[in-house]
Structure 1
Amino acid sequence: HEGLSEAETHALNARLILILANHIGDLDVIQEAIACAHGAAIAAPDVDPTKA
């Protein structure tokens, strides 16, 4: 994300998520991944994913 604005970073993340979801193709697996990510975000709210 180096050199990208915050909006460009968010757009890149969204495109990447859609591409990966398309490759996975299994709705149950995608929903489980979303639930895991959501739980991780709640457990570590001070983490900035753009800085990771």
Structure 2
Amino acid sequence: MDLILTSNIDDGDGFYDELLTAHADLSKDESDAYNARLILILCNHIGDRQVLRQALAAASAEASAP
């Protein structure tokens, strides 16, 4: 399986609103911890190490883009 980098979430705007709401009353540290837990939960759900490696590489490329 390959990593999907195109929009693939039903009602992406609605999900983004839910994600922002989940962070609304959190401090920076709490928000960071929430993100870490969410990432690990989703990585566990994906479970495919090749896809996870592709995601790590894509995130690194995005972080270094101007």
Largest Rg, 1 or 2: 2
TM-score (normalised: structure 2)? 0.63
- Aligned partners of 2:53, 2:59: CA distance in 1, in Å? 10
- Aligned partners of 2:35, 2:49: CA distance in 1, in Å? 19
Displacement of 1:32: 0.4
TM-score (normalised: structure 1)? 0.78
Instruction: Determine the structure 1 residue equivalent to 2:49.
Output: 27
Displacement of 1:10: 0.5
**Unmatched 5+ stretches in structure 1:** 45-52
RMSD over aligned CA atoms reads 0.9
**Unmatched 5+ stretches in structure 2:** 1-22
Instruction: Determine the structure 2 residue equivalent to 1:43.
Output: 65
Quick one: percent identity of the two aligned structures?
55
Instruction: Determine the structure 1 residue equivalent to 2:40.
Output: 18
> Which consecutive segments of 4 or more residues in structure 1 shift more than 4 A?
none
Length, aligned pairs only = 44
Give the counterpart letter for 1:4 in structure 2: L
Structure scoring higher RCO (CA < 8 A, sep ≥ 6) equals 2
